[in-house]
Every structure is written in C-alpha cells, then in structure tokens.
Amino acid sequence: MRILAVISGEYGRRHAENIRSHGPEEWEIEIWQAPTALPPLIDDPEDYLPESLPQVDLILSFGEHPGVAELLPEIAKRTGARAVIAAIDNEAWLPRGLARQLRGWLEKIGVGCATPKPLCSLTQTHYSIARRQKMEYSDPLISEFARYFGQPELRIAVDPETRRIVSTQVQRDAVCGCARYVSGGLVGLSAGEAEEKAGMLHHHYPCLASMGEDTDYGDTLMHVSGNIIKDDVAMQVKPFKEIRYLVPRGREK
C-alpha cells in the first residue's frame, strides 16, 4: 500500500515515523509538510499545494490546522488516492462540522473517508466520533490500515499461579506508537496493578491528544484515549485478578 502522510508539525511527524518503523515492509510511506500558515477559508487549494505529489492509495491527514482538511479533496484528486483517514485528536484542528463536510466532499468524488475521534478509536469496521457514538465504514484500504494501527489491542499472557504478566504482544498499535510503549512496561506486573500502570504509561509516553475538554465527550481526548488502552488491558487481566472480600466485624468465622 502506498501512503501519503500530510503533516503540519511534530504531532504528525511522530505518527508517520512510527508507521514507517513498525508497519508492513511492503508499505511505502511518503510525507508532505503542509503550509504552517493557512487562511480561515481557502478559495483555491492549488495556491497551497506543490506542483507535484506522489501517486498513492491512502492519505493520512495529521494536520494541526482546519485548513488542511480543505486541501484534502484536491490532494486526493492529484494523488489518485482512494481513501483518507483524517485524525481528530484536537477539535481545534478538525472541528466536527468540518469533519462532516470533509466526508461529504470526498464521497462525491468516490473517495472513502474516516474521521476517528480520537485517532486511536479506529478499528477495521468503525470508529468513534463522540461518547457512545460510533460510525461504521466499509472501505478496504482504511480497514487494511486499521489491521495494524488504530485502537490498541494487546495480547497479554499471565501466569495463573503468580498472577503476574509474563509476556505481551502488540496486535494493533496506536498510530503514535503509544500501545507499543505501554506493552513494554507491563511485563512483570501483577494482574491487579496492570490497568492503573497502563494508564500511567499512556500518559508518560506522552499521548498527543488534546488536554482540553472536548464537548462531544465531556472529557479530554487524552483521557478518552487512555481509557481505550486501559480497558483493553483490564479485560485481559480480569480473570487473574485476586478478589478480596471484606467481612464485617463480628461475622468472622
């Protein structure tokens, strides 16, 4: 698969480098740095695009300015891309209304589009756009990308006798690489402490999602992202957690 990562700064660069380092060997990753200064409304996208762009199958948009989304339909036309994943890790970079417009613009030209909020909610069949709101999609290119990057999925092995984690494998990494980092810090922990430690590791990586409260969630996207990987860890270690019961005084046997 040929991929073009559209970036504005370090946020996108870190995502693109993680994909290059840990994605399938046959993937070809190109990076285009979008202009850092864009007007509130773009009349002619060609004024802000280079003379040539590589031919690709999939576009990954990691823009840190709403104007980047307005460039994507023209970028798709020039590159021949058949699908776009536009990350929403900050409402200021891609507001919900503009994300809805983007999906519509791309649909009109026959290009698939996913706008996961946060980016690490992307699976092979759906992604989140708000609290308890998921959007299903059916696009083979986006689904193929989501086999490897998106909603973190770990495989955790626990010794049933010691109740400690003996090994971890990353089945699907977060696009930024956070899941791989968290995975490496869980080995040796008890099942009872793994969930909390996963949240701490996620924060220390650090997650690049917004720390401001998002109105679609009533929470920060960083916190939402952290809960996604904590939930995955919690589900896997639950059968091995030691359950302690408190007995009221006077009822001891």
Locate CATH 3.40.50 in the chain.
2-146
Handedness of CA 151, 2, 58, 8 (dihedral sign): positive
Q: Cα–Cα distances in Å, from 15 out to 54, 120, 129, 150?
A: 19, 11, 20, 11
Contact 42, 66 (CB under 8 A): no
Closest CA to 210 of 224, 229, 230, 192: 224
Q: Describe the chain by its helix, strand, coil percentages, rounded to 5.
A: 40, 20, 40
| Prediction pTM value | 0.92
CATH class of the structural domain 2-146: alpha beta
pLDDT in tens, the chain (253 residues): 999 999 999 999 999 999 999 999 999 999 999 998 787 778 788 888 998 999 999 999 999 999 999 999 999 999 999 999 999 999 999 999 999 999 999 999 999 999 999 999 999 999 999 999 999 999 999 999 999 999 999 999 999 999 999 999 999 999 999 999 999 999 999 999 999 999 999 999 989 999 999 999 999 999 999 999 999 999 999 999 876 555 566 555 5
* The two structure tokens encoding residue 98: 């503009």
